[in-house]
Structure 1
Amino acid sequence: MYRDLASRRSGEEREILLALADAEKRHEDHWLQLLGNDVGYPRRGDLRTRVLGWLARRFGGVFVLALAQRAESRSGYEDDGDATPAMVADERIHEEVVRGLAARGRNRLSGTFRAAVFGANDGLVSNLALILGIGASGASASAVLLTGIAGLLAGALSMAAGEFVSVRSQTELLHASSPSPEASASLPDLDVDANELALVYRARGMAPVEAERHAATVLRTYSAKTEIAPRMTDEDIETHGTAWGAAISSFFFFASGALIPVLPYLFGAEGLTAVVASAALVGVALLGTGAVVGLLSGTAPLTRALRQLAIGWGAAAVTYALGLVFGATLA
């Protein structure tokens, strides 16, 4: 699997993955040596391993790395008397190496993708709860459908606006904390004896002695490209995502999530049939979003999927019960 992942990488990541593959080959050689003449014919890997390899060849990416991280953490070498201490240590280190590689991918996805996943989940839960609550109050199917569409549009616009403001604010804060180019251009004109540059580093948290030493080094090694401190980079922007990207993805993913509970009413279902169909469709979608979040966070996908399902259905059940109560009161 590491070789398959490396085939879709370049540079440092490719070298790291190939080094992991070499380490696993040493483990394989250990078992082959122990088995000796009893090694038997080569056998295919189990289904899970073959699926991981296929995913790595076709897609690569953070999802496969997250699964690999979990696989490394479940190594049985620690309790295996035939495994060497070095192999046990290797597996522990491999988990941390893969965790680091997966973290890079998570950072690249953390802006727009975060808005997409959680936007879809919010749309699923909020619109299902809204529809079931209104439906339980005794409203007609057409009223429930109109309510669902209104909830879809209102929620999607609200999510888009919130994500735009949030990401734009983060970017503006990063820009505000980034040193001015004009300040860096003033470095050659500073009084070396007064060395006010040290005040910059003290303001950024350095101890006085360390700030004086660092400022002296900067002035001594000054060149035209010297900067007082690192400025905001394209990687920083990529990590936080763009405001418009987050807003647009949030709008469409919230809308796509919020559309699912409306579908049975769009196709003419009414009453309890529509309620059950809507809850079932949303349940399947919640399992999917929960599993994705579990994969990205390096935890068990099934656990996260079931937790997401319980939360979503729980919220819908509460609003449905309240709808029954208010419907009976109004009647």
Structure 2
Amino acid sequence: MTNFKNTNTRDDSHGGSPSDLRRWRQYLADERAEAAVYRDLAGRRSGEEREILLALAEAETRHEQHWLKMLGDNVGKPRRGGLRTRFVGFLARHFGSVFVLALAQRAEARSPYARDVHATAAMAADEQIHEEIVRALATRGRNRLSGSFRAAVFGANDGLVSNLSLVMGISASGAPNSVVLLSGVAGLLAGALSMGAGEYVSVRSQRELLEASTPNEDAQARLPHLNAGANELALLYRARGMSPEEANAKAAESLQNPPETPIAVPAGHDKHEAVGTGLGAATSSFLFFGSGAILPVLPYLFGLQGITALIIASIIVGLALLTTGAIVALLSGGAPLKMALRQLAIGYGAAAVTYLLGMLFGTSAA
């Protein structure tokens, strides 16, 4: 069972100012809501992870007791937690995925206790450690997602930006609606196939490089059979970066006390799961590039033309860019609004440049 240092609470419960009381009541509501989030997450886990989440809920309950003492008879009616905390709670009850852990991590990082004189130093320290605990719990899920997820995000964004730029450039040149539509569909197919093939080759090459650089675990089982008077093992440690003295000492120690069995990778565990698989990355990239690239073409598929089609295509793509940016931020623990706006600015910037170039070439051709 994971143990957490007990939070120091105060015996000097007293009445604060009206603003203090409102703030303490909100803290109380947030602590209760966060404890509920961890219990809901624990209900979807097992083993050590479940115990850790329940221990986090217990720690939040201790913080709750602190605010109850501070409020004394001024607790008032139960309040709801903040909007973000309630949203995380909703996700925890219905999904319990790595997205929830990422949101919980951000919630812990925003704790105001370090700046509030009415919170104890132990409470502020608890919240900071809670952030690291949730970060650690979310890491494995992020690793499982990172290979295919990276390909999916890059594919979707490339599809959105490249095809919007293509459609806007062709449209700005004065080409008829049929040419714009044909160009958009061709860009979708060519880009999706290219992205899928590129991701497959990239990920396969990366995995093969990692495999070639990973020490052979079976070699460890041969240590008891080495000639103690030879220096091959010392050479191995020197090749791995040790000085001659360190390598000789390490080799002597390993020969005197060799491990009984080699260090094995647990069954079902992928040593390079963060890289993903070539097929998974290729499939994700192909599908998500296609799903992103189809959006700028939709207005033309429905018969819209000219500036109307361009405006609608830009709005659709803008909303999609904001969504992908926010999703990346949630998984990486970043600020969703900041990353969403960054994605939007990059996409619109590329499209604007292509539109201007299309106008220039169209004018030159005329």
TM-score, scaled relative to structure 2: 0.84
Does the C-alpha gap of structure 1 residues 59 and 214 become closer, same or farther in structure 2, counting only changes over 3 Å?
Answer: farther
1:147-187 Cα shifts (integer Å, max 9, x gaps): 01111111111111111111111110111112346644543
1:142 aligns with 2:178: yes
The residue that corresponds to 2:312 in the other structure is 277
User: What is the one-letter code of the residue matched to 1:203?
Assistant: A
Gaps of 5+ in 2: 1-36
User: What is the one-letter code of the residue matched to 1:255?
Assistant: G
Which deviates more from structure 2 when the two are superposed, residues 12-21 or residues 312-321? 12-21
Which deviates more from structure 2 when the two are superposed, residues 214-223 or residues 63-72? 214-223
The residue that corresponds to 1:16 in the other structure is 52
Which deviates more from structure 2 when the two are superposed, residues 210-219 or residues 31-40? 210-219
- Report the Cα offset of residue 282 of structure 1: 0.5
- What is the count of residue pairs matched by the alignment? 330
Does the 8 Å CA contact 1:164/1:246 hold for their aligned counterparts?
yes
User: What is the one-letter code of the residue matched to 2:66?
Assistant: H
Among 293, 299, 321, the residue aligned to 1:258? 293
The residue that corresponds to 1:72 in the other structure is 108
- Report the Cα offset of residue 48 of structure 1: 2.4
1:94 aligns with 2:130: yes
- Report the Cα offset of residue 230 of structure 1: 7.5
The residue that corresponds to 1:292 in the other structure is 327
CA RMSD of superposed structures (Å): 2.1
1:321 aligns with 2:366: no
3-state SS of paired residue (1:237): coil
1:182-237 Cα shifts (integer Å, max 9, x gaps): 6445433310122421221221123334333433343344466325x989983323
Does the C-alpha gap of structure 1 residues 218 and 233 become closer, same or farther in structure 2, counting only changes over 3 Å?
Answer: farther
Does the 8 Å CA contact 2:85/2:107 hold for their aligned counterparts?
no
3-state SS of paired residue (2:270): helix
3-state SS of paired residue (1:139): coil
Q: 1:99, 1:41 → 2: CA distance?
A: 34
Q: 1:36, 1:71 → 2: CA distance?
A: 26
Among 38, 41, 52, the residue aligned to 1:2? 38
Does the 8 Å CA contact 1:195/1:216 hold for their aligned counterparts?
no
1:28 aligns with 2:56: no
User: What is the one-letter code of the residue matched to 1:313?
Assistant: Y
1:237 aligns with 2:272: yes
1:107-153 Cα shifts (integer Å, max 9, x gaps): 12110011011110110000000010001101111111110111111
User: What is the one-letter code of the residue matched to 2:239?
Assistant: A
The residue that corresponds to 1:81 in the other structure is 117
User: What is the one-letter code of the residue matched to 2:329?
Assistant: G
**Larger RCO (CA under 8 A, 6+ residues apart):** 1
The residue that corresponds to 1:207 in the other structure is 243
1:43-71 Cα shifts (integer Å, max 9, x gaps): 33233222211101211222222222221
Among 137, 147, 157, the residue aligned to 2:193? 157
Does the C-alpha gap of structure 1 residues 298 and 180 become closer, same or farther in structure 2, counting only changes over 3 Å?
Answer: closer
Q: 1:147, 1:289 → 2: CA distance?
A: 25
- Report the Cα offset of residue 99 of structure 1: 2.1
Which deviates more from structure 2 when the two are superposed, residues 140-149 or residues 186-195? 186-195
Which deviates more from structure 2 when the two are superposed, residues 118-127 or residues 43-52? 43-52
1:259-297 Cα shifts (integer Å, max 9, x gaps): 110111111111111111111110110110010111122
Does the C-alpha gap of structure 1 residues 10 and 40 become closer, same or farther in structure 2, counting only changes over 3 Å?
Answer: same
Percent identity between the two aligned chains:
67
Gaps of 5+ in 1: none
TM-score, scaled relative to structure 1: 0.93
User: What is the one-letter code of the residue matched to 1:319?
Assistant: T
Q: 1:11, 1:93 → 2: CA distance?
A: 21
Which deviates more from structure 2 when the two are superposed, residues 39-48 or residues 66-75? 39-48
Does the 8 Å CA contact 2:217/2:262 hold for their aligned counterparts?
no
